[in-house]
Homo-oligomer: A and B are copies of this chain.
Amino acid sequence: MEIETAFHHGAVAADAKPILEMRGIKKHFGNVIALAGVSFDIRPGECHCLLGDNGAGKSTFIKTMSGVHKPTEGEILFEDKPMNFSSPRDAMEAGIATVFQDLAMIPLMSVTRNFFMGREPTKGAGPFKRFDVARANEVCVEEMRNMGINLRGPDQAVGTLSGGERQTVAIARAVYFGAKVLILDEPTSALGVRQTSNVLATIDKVRKQGVGVVFISHNVRHAMAVGDRFTVLNRGKTLGTATRGEITPNELQDLMAGGQEMAQLEGSLGGTI
C-alpha cells in the first residue's frame, strides 16, 4: 500500500497551543454509557483523525464538541477558555463548523436554502434587509461544482438528490463558511472517486490556512492521506493518540478494528479493505 501522498505534512509545531481541548468527556444516554471519559485536542493547521470501530462513540464525541449534546461530565476549553455551548449555533459562532454524519439537511428544502440555512446572505438595509437569493444560488452552484458536482438547479429539493450529492452539499456548506475548527464526520462515505479526492484536497487546503480539522473515517487510506495525528476510540474510551510517522497503516487498521481478530481478517480478505 502506498501511503505517501502529495500533501504537505508536519508543518504544525507539536507544541502549538490547541484551539479546542476536550478533557475527560463522559456522555450517558439514559442507561447507555456512550463516552466513558475521552480527552482530545485540536491544534490550528492540523488534521486530527478520529478513528474507531462502529459504535465506538466518535459521532457522539464530535456532537458534544459542536454543541449538540451537553457532556454528562468533562470540560471543553476553546482557545483556553472553558466553554459551555448551549446550542450548535453557539459553537458555530465561536468558530466550529461541523458536517454531521446524518448531514443535518432538510429534505423538503432546496439545495440553496439548505446550503445557507442559519447563515443567509442578505442585501438591502434596515427593514428592507432580505435574503439575497440570486447570490446564494450562484455561490451554491459554484461551490458544488468545485467539489465535483454539477447541480441541475439550485432549487432542486435536497430530498431528491443522490446520497453523494447530498453529502457534498453538507461538506461544501461547512467549508464555505470557514471556521477555526472544521469537524467532518465520515464526509467521504457516500462519495465517488472524484468527489473524494476533492474533499481530501479541500481538507489539505483549509489546514494550510490554519484551520484545525477533525476528520472521522473508517478508511485507513483516507486517514493516512491527510491526517497529522490519529486518535482511536474504542467502546467509549480512547486507545491513545499517535502522530504521523509514528504509526504504520497496518497498526492503525488493527487499532481501528479494536485489535481483534485482525490477523484472521487480513488473511481472508487479502488486505483489500
Q: Give the B-binding residues of A (Cβ under 8 A).
A: 1-6, 29, 32, 52-56, 58-60, 101-102, 148-149, 152, 156, 160-165, 168, 186, 189-197, 200-201, 218-222, 224-225, 253, 256-258, 260-262, 265, 267-273
Contacts and interface: CB of A to CB of B under 8 A. Distances in A.
Contact of A221 (B102, B164, B194, B272): B272
13 contacts: A1-B1, A5-B269, A53-B192, A56-B162, A56-B192, A192-B218, A192-B256, A193-B253, A193-B257, A196-B273, A197-B268, A200-B273, A225-B270
Given A160-B29, A268-B201, A272-B225, A189 B190 contact: yes
B273 A55 contact: no
A273 B221 contact: yes
A265 B218 contact: no
A193 B273 contact: yes
Contacts of A148: 54
B218 A191 contact: yes
A197 to B, nearest CB: 5
Contact of A190 (B156, B161, B218): B218
B271 A2 contact: yes
A196 to B, nearest CB: 5
Nearest to A53: B192
A56 B2 CA distance: 29
Contacts of A270: 2, 4-6, 225
A193 B256 contact: yes
B54 A257 contact: no
B260 A194 contact: yes
Contacts of A5: 269-270, 272
Contacts of A189: 186, 189-190
